[in-house]
C-alpha cells in the first residue's frame, strides 16, 4: 500500500511541476491585509434618567446608573472629550465654600470621595468618578460630577481605555486593584466623545 501511495504522489508531482513552471507569476503578489476597522465608542448621560450609556458604532453595549449634580451644583451639559483617567485617585478639596474645612484624602483611603477611578470630561473640575457613598447613585447628590459604583467606574474606565487606544492586559488592572495606595494615570491617544444632556 505504501508503494502504491508513493507512485501516486510522484505522478501528481510530475504533472504539477511543469504547469507551475510555465505559469506567469509576474503579476502575482501577496494579498493586502484586510483594512483595519476601528470601532468607535461614545459615552452619553441623560441627566433626567440618571443613566450613562456606552455605544459602540451606534449600538448600546452598556448602561450604568449614576448620581448627578444637585440643583445648586449642576452637572454641565454639552459635548466633551475624555482624554485622561486616574486610577486610585487622591482627593484634594477644591477652594470653594462647600469644601471648607475638609482634608485631603490619599489613594485607597476608605473615606476618599473619588472612589477607585476618576474619568475627566471637563477638566479640571468635572469628572466621572467612583464613590464611597453608593447610596447616592440614582440621585441628584454631587457637586456637578457624575458618581458611579466603584466596580462600574472601573469597568467603564477599562472600556474607555480600550476604545481610546490605550488598552491594557488583565494583569495591569489586577496590579492596580491590588496596589491601592498609589495613583496611576492614563492619557488616551484617541479621545472618547462624551455627551451630557438634560
Q: How far apart are alpha carbons 87 and 177 in whole angstroms?
A: 9
Q: Are strands 184-197 and 41-46 parallel, antiparallel or unpaired?
A: parallel
Active-site positions read 129, 145
In the chain, how many H helices and how many E strands?
3, 10
**The C-alpha cell that represents 162 in the structure block:** 480600550
Q: What is the DSSP secondary-structure string of 162-178?
A: HHTT----HHHHHHHHH
Phi, psi of 40, rounded to the nearest 5 degrees = -115, 125
Closest CA to 140 of 198, 79, 63: 198
Task: Yes or no: say if 121 and 188 are a contact pair by the CB < 8 Å rule.
Answer: no
Q: How far apart are alpha carbons 156 and 58 in whole angstroms?
A: 17
Amino acid at each position: 500500500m505504501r508503494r502504491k501511495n508513493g507512485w501516486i504522489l510522484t505522478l501528481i508531482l510530475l504533472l504539477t511541476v511543469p504547469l507551475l513552471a510555465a505559469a506567469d507569476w509576474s503579476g502575482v503578489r501577496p494579498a493586502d491585509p484586510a483594512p483595519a476597522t476601528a470601532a468607535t465608542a461614545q459615552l452619553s448621560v441623560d441627566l433626567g434618567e440618571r443613566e450613562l450609556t456606552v455605544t459602540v458604532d451606534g449600538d448600546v453595549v452598556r448602561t450604568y446608573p449614576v448620581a448627578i449634580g444637585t440643583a445648586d451644583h449642576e452637572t454641565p451639559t454639552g459635548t466633551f472629550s475624555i482624554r485622561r483617567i486616574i486610577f486610585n485617585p487622591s482627593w484634594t478639596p477644591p477652594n470653594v465654600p462647600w469644601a471648607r474645612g475638609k482634608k485631603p484624602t490619599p489613594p485607597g483611603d476608605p473615606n476618599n470621595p473619588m472612589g477607585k477611578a476618576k474619568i475627566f470630561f471637563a477638566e479640571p473640575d468635572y469628572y466621572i468618578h467612583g464613590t464611597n457613598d453608593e447610596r447616592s447613585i440614582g440621585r441628584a447628590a454631587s457637586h456637578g460630577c457624575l458618581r458611579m459604583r466603584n466596580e462600574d467606574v472601573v469597568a467603564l474606565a477599562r472600556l474607555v481605555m480600550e476604545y481610546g487606544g490605550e488598552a491594557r492586559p488583565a494583569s495591569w488592572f489586577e496590579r492596580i486593584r491590588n496596589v491601592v495606595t498609589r495613583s496611576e494615570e492614563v492619557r488616551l491617544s484617541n479621545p472618547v466623545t462624551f455627551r451630557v444632556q438634560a
